[in-house]
A and B are shown apart, each in its own frame.
Chain A
């Protein structure tokens, strides 16, 4: 600092640049460093230090030509000196010294030519050494740069508990050696766990309707992390990355298509006053045509590949719902085709969401009585706390008529759907539906 009158522009420019680099390359750099050192915590800390150093030195010296390479070189140097401190064996010294003197330019070439380790890192993080429930937050933190506190909110866990669990999981991963097995190409048998985790992250983002207010209020010298982007966008980003690296996986294409269909409809879920609009009442012109087209293309590719699975089937259902946006399509979705796909899904992945979706489709295809019979056959404690189950049950009961018993059933189901929702707009919507009984 050379006085109060100093021009703040270089510092702001450096910060903006560092933020842009973090946004673009954070995950890639963490993955690259982890691949070399086998320890994701060390990699994150070193990269964070490198960002701090960037904020300190870039304003005075001007930003480097290749900021990613600069950050990679600084983080790598920090990791090496860390390792050296830890290495008691003196015989490692010469080798380490040699590597340490590599020039930043060489590292730059290395980073540019290095394979993209992000998918490999995701696969490594989906190792059984880390609890399955932590796979998604681990990926979001290391590959996407989310902070434990943000992930805690998305996962409804206290921030201190989330931070602790992540630290413990990373330690377990390091001790298991999982991160040393990292290959540039993710092992196919781990892909399923990666896709699940990405979908979990997307689902959490979907529930989180509030506009992101991620503006940094902390210290100016805090290393920038790629915040301020919706978790949903990030899950999409990961989905695209996986497809890019595993173009032959039908499920990867299916997952991407599924997320894109849902994301394309995001803005159509609320009217101008913030009121909730259910899928069937949405105006298709408010869906994002661009995302829908991308989803169609992804699903079409999935359909040419062997190994259809859960995500591809779910995407196919969404594509049938989405078809009414096309000019010559009938206004009503093809309920028979949707029901058939739900029946296939019930055989391979009977989740609460699938059961609920199937009931709604059956109600349209074969009538409310058939849907209620279907629901009554599926008594599952998991369903009892699943809000959409009650909302669907309420709509089915409402369509069954006005007999006293049926009406009481509808009132109760609406009440539970209202009591279990987190979303004020959905709550208001359901209260109105209940009042209209």
Chain B
């Protein structure tokens, strides 16, 4: 069963990415985590995201386009990346999610993917 683990990072976490003293440990922790998931043989897909300041959000309302700089929700914690893993159940996915470096700073949301739809007709 496939689950997406959405990695939620704090602004502190995003700041570590470019901080010369903290960046090496930050990236090494994520590299090690990715490697562990891969070696467990459950990795389906994964990607990291650039910081929320690089985002733009569009909404269509009243027949107009509204484009804004920044992420969809203006909150202290933001999406930093995701992993899609193929594991037996939610318990197993939580077991992996707990080990993510951001689990102790921001958090990890774990959600099952919709099953692939059979094409109708």
- Contact code string B94-105 (vs A, CB < 8 Å = 1, else 0): 110011010110
- Are A156 and B35 neighbours in the complex by a CB distance under 8 Å? no
B101 touches which one: A161, A415, A427 (CB < 8 A)? Answer: A427
A415 to B25, CA, bound (A): 12
Question: Considering residues A157, A161, A419, which has the most beta carbons from chain B within 10 angstroms of its beta carbon?
Answer: A419
A434 to B25, CA, bound (A): 11
Q: Which residues of A contact B40 (CB under 8 A)?
A: 384-385
- Are B99 and A419 neighbours in the complex by a CB distance under 8 Å? yes
B81 to chain A, nearest CB (A): 15
Question: Total A-B pairs in contact (CB under 8 Å)?
Answer: 53
- Are A419 and B37 neighbours in the complex by a CB distance under 8 Å? yes
Q: Is B36 an interface residue (CB 8 A)?
A: yes
B101 to chain A, nearest CB (A): 7
- Contact code string B22-62 (vs A, CB < 8 Å = 1, else 0): 00110011011111110110000000000000000000000
B46 to chain A, nearest CB (A): 13
- Contact code string A417-437 (vs B, CB < 8 Å = 1, else 0): 011111010011001001100
B29 touches which one: A384, A422, A427, A435 (CB < 8 A)? Answer: A427
A158 to B32, CA, bound (A): 26
B67 to chain A, nearest CB (A): 37
- Are A420 and B28 neighbours in the complex by a CB distance under 8 Å? no
- Are B35 and A419 neighbours in the complex by a CB distance under 8 Å? yes
A415 to B104, CA, bound (A): 19
Interface size on A (CB < 8 Å)?
20
A315 to B57, CA, bound (A): 59
Q: Is A416 an interface residue (CB 8 A)?
A: yes
CB contact under 8 A between A161 and B29, given known A156-B95, A419-B37: no
- Are A418 and B29 neighbours in the complex by a CB distance under 8 Å? yes
CB contact under 8 A between A418 and B28, given known A156-B95, A385-B40, A427-B101: yes
Q: Is B74 an interface residue (CB 8 A)?
A: no
Q: Look across to chain B and name the residue whose beta carbon is closest to the beta carbon of A162.
A: B91
- Are B90 and A419 neighbours in the complex by a CB distance under 8 Å? no
- Are B95 and A419 neighbours in the complex by a CB distance under 8 Å? no
A415 touches which one: B35, B94, B98, B99 (CB < 8 A)? Answer: B35
CB contact under 8 A between A161 and B90, given known A418-B28, A419-B33, A424-B104: yes
Q: List 21 A-B contacts (CB under 8 A).
A: A156-B91, A156-B94, A157-B90, A158-B90, A158-B91, A161-B91, A384-B39, A384-B40, A385-B40, A415-B35, A416-B39, A418-B36, A419-B33, A419-B36, A419-B37, A421-B99, A422-B98, A424-B101, A428-B25, A431-B29, A434-B28
